[in-house]
Structure 1
Amino acid sequence: MRILMFGRGVIATVYGCMLDEAGHDVEFYVRPGRAEEYGDEVRLDWIDGRRKPFGRRRQEAFRTSLRETLDAADGFELIVLSVGHHRLAEAAAFLAPRIGEASVLVFGNVWKEPLDAVAPLPADQVVFGFPQAGGGFGEDGVLQVASLPSVVVGTDGASASIREAAVVAALRETGLSVRREPDMRGWLWLHFVADAGMFAQALRSGSLARMIGDRQAFRTAFATARALLPLLEARGVDLGRHRSATLPFRFPGLMAAASAWVTKLVPMAGTSLAAHTDPRAAEALAVLADTRLEARRLGVPIPRLGP
């Protein structure tokens, strides 16, 4: 399959590497002028959850094929779009006249109605998913990243499509386990408020990195997310369909103790948080601002996030 990763950030790089290893023809779209800046190689220090023993570390270089132009006639079959939710509208507007017949995997946070968030992309060409990886580029340019052996994929309330099946097949060819989520809209929004809880606590703690091993910080983050569940219900989310995903919020003390222990002692768990040293990163502030805005619109009090 001919695949375009939109950008060369953490998620695009690590999943682009997986797809490349699986035999797909993978290229990366970068902004004009960035190809020379990035170069044609990225070094990875990668805790790969697909490798046995679980989470074996890989230290290697990955050669990337970068392009600065994109046209509908380029013939890509799949475009993986993974940007901060506050940049989705801009990215979708850029891609819409350039995707041709490609499927577009929207791979990350979404807070608006999913298809509205990526309009004007054609609804029948869009599949939603969520990565299970995180990390960041160090000052030396090395990508420090950890990835779990699974991802989540679904559509916006529709039955599984041929395009979704093709995306799932491509991801499974990498050795990933793919969980197909029938209520992707609710799952994405639940993950969004979980992020809001974490980002709110990061502002208090000084960063996500500083939360590693801090039981009280995790407890407060989970309690903040739990207080946002009425906002999801006001938006029509059936929380009963997501009982496993709401477990940390229903038992914040117990889950906080486990999370603090895991992030401190398990390298895979701590790597993603360790890369986030800026509590005022653009995506974090946008998540908090948009959560507050929606709560005001619906008249749902969220005292833990403030006005």
Structure 2
Amino acid sequence: MMQSRVIVTCAITGNQTTPEMTPHLPITPAEIAEACLGAAEAGAAAVHIHVRDPQTGRPSMELDYYRDVMDRIRARDKDLIINLTTGPGGRFVPGADDPKVAGPGTTLMRPEDRVVHIARLKPDIATLDLNTMNSGKQVVINTPDNVRRMAAVINKAGVKPEIELFDSGDIALCNDLVRDGTLKGPLLCSVVMGVKYGFQPAPETVLYARGLLPPGTVWTAFGTGRMAFPMVAQSFLAGGHVRVGLEDAVYLSKDVLAESNAAMVEKACGIVEALGGQIATARQARDLLALPVHEKTMV
């Protein structure tokens, strides 16, 4: 069924995109907040946010950076939907001499430590990754019990989880979490396509994944790299919402770097509108997702 309004989410900076890939990557809290506001002006109703160390540009989980970004956004736009990641903290690198001992690059930590910023800052949405999978030379680990522990914190904070699905087994886990009451419907889900050892981006993948989702799920399918914009069209045509941003890709077209997240949002909106869709405002998206409206800015 074609949706009446399409929610555009912009993934601003991510964990894997590096400054070496593009000079346009937002790094500081001020740059990330400005990128969020620019994406909103271009048509995004929601922004998905990671933060980085302003000095090194490396991914960070520092609470104060998240707080700074949120304060800057809310001071100027109380409607924009803020979606904070909980993905960092789930990577394990086997040691070269003893694979059961963590090697350099391991970030694995207690599940509760990955959601401290959610409990403290209470964004509109928090992502909840269900994948345990190979990722390059690393392994991402999200065991069912750890996911339940993170979900408990998110639920207690009154924050809506966005369930991140990287392969069909993740959807099987999602359905189990609905059955045992860990997740309450209607769900909000993202189908992630293009990670090497997960769902591969194709029309068949979108339809297959859609068919496995719990009834009534509001969902987005998105692609990484060169498949970012083709998947905008595929997700919309299959009845989903859309996501783009410098977290997922750095090119606007072949050999043309996107100069901003806003430019990517503008192109995505153009694709949806060319196919007959209507872009949801942030207020309309809040209604679609049953999110509260902020009457006051953060202090």
Normalized against structure 2, the TM-score is what? 0.28
Asked which structure has the greater RCO (Cα within 8 Å, sep 6+), the reply is: 2
Structure ID, larger Rg: 1
Normalized against structure 1, the TM-score is what? 0.28
